[in-house]
Structure 1
C-alpha cells in the first residue's frame, strides 16, 4: 500500500471479503479513500496488487 498523503509504502494484509473504501496510513495516520469511482476499493487504488474480488472478476472474464 502507498499512502497518497505522505508517500510511505507499507505492507497490509488484504481482507478476503467486503469492500474497503477507506484505509488509514500506518505512518502518518491519515484516513484516505478511493480516488476513482471505477476502483473497487482502496487496495485497487493504492496497492501494487488488486484485491481478491477484482482478481476473481479477471479470472471469470478469461
Structure 2
C-alpha cells in the first residue's frame, strides 16, 4: 500500500507530496501555494482520488481485495 500521493492543485499547478490518512478519506485540502480549498470531484471519495497520483489507502485496499466499493460507503 502506498501512503504518499503527489497532489496537484488544478488552479495553480503546484504539486506537493503528502502523507495520506490510512483510516479515513480526506475531504478537503488547502493548496499551500494559492490557498484554494480542494474538494473531491463528483464520484470520488477524497481529494487524493481526485487530485493525487495515488488513490487513498481505503480505495487501494478495496482494489487489492477485488472490491469496487467507494470508501466511506
Structure 1 residues not aligned, in runs of 5+: none
Runs (4 or more) in structure 1 with deviation over 2 Å come to: none
Q: CA RMSD in A?
A: 1.3
Q: TM-score, normalised by structure 1?
A: 0.87
Alpha-carbon distance between aligned partners in 2 of 1:7 and 1:20, rounded to the nearest angstrom: 20
Q: TM-score, normalised by structure 2?
A: 0.75
Flag the structure with higher strand content.
Answer: 2
Match for residue 33 of structure 2?
27
Structure 2 residues not aligned, in runs of 5+: 1-6, 68-73
Give aligned pairs, total: 61
